């Protein structure tokens, strides 16, 4: 009778998989974080942090905060129209609905690295810890692109 043990094994598997982090994807629970990147910036300056979060589960999750040893503080921001200009506004959390992918990008939702303790140089990476309401902590490495980049560079191995 194979059916029952096999079913039990499959049911248990997701909970026992360790969090796997690569340069391109970090996972925690039902979440996968892809293409984390930032832009070159000077010491003491403020940098943006960008990435995609896919929620492959059946329950919504929320990004509550982020932190990095490279920044004095990090905030979550959105962009809102104010007359003719777009302005940044802090948000309490970034919702990641079940079955959806939310992309943080220039001109939209993003993270801010405030008070950089060191320059961010193109080609380097910046460690960031994301804290989600359900999935908990996820460690990612932002890949530093050129100053003013609008998109993450195509990745190489």
* C-beta closer to Cu ion: residue 19 or 88: 88
Q: Of residues 21, 93, 112, 153, which one binds Cu ion by CB under 5 A? A: 112
Rg of the chain (C-alpha set): 17
Q: CB 137 → Cu ion: shortest distance, Å?
A: 22
Backbone angles phi, psi at 9, to 5 degrees: -65, -45
Q: CB 62 → Cu ion: shortest distance, Å?
A: 18
At residue 14, the 3 state secondary structure works out as helix
Query: Residue 17 has which token pair?
Result: 């998989």
Q: Which stretch binds Cu ion (CB under 5 A): 20-28, 72-80, 125-133, 138-146?
A: 72-80
C-alpha dist (Å) from residue 122 to 41, 50, 140: 9, 15, 17
Q: Which stretch binds Cu ion (CB under 5 A): 16-24, 26-34, 64-72, 104-112?
A: 104-112
Residues within the interface to Cu ion (CB under 5 A): 77, 88, 112
């Amino acid at each position: 009778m194979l059916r029952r043990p096999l079913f039990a094994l499959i049911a248990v598997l997701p909970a026992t998989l360790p969090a796997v982090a690569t340069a391109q994807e970090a996972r925690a629970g039902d979440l996968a974080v892809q293409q984390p990147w930032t832009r070159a910036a000077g010491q003491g300056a403020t940098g943006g942090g960008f990435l995609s979060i896919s929620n492959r589960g059946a329950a919504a999750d929320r990004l509550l905060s982020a932190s990095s040893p490279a920044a004095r503080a990090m905030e979550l921001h959105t962009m809102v129209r104010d007359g003719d200009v777009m302005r940044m506004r802090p948000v309490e959390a970034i919702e990641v609905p079940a079955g959806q992918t939310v992309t943080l990008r220039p001109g939209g939702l993003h993270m801010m690295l405030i008070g950089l303790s060191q320059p961010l140089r193109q080609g380097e990476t910046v460690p960031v810890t994301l804290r989600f309401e359900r999935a908990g902590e996820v460690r990612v490495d932002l890949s530093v692109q050129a100053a003013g980049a609008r998109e993450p560079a195509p990745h190489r191995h």
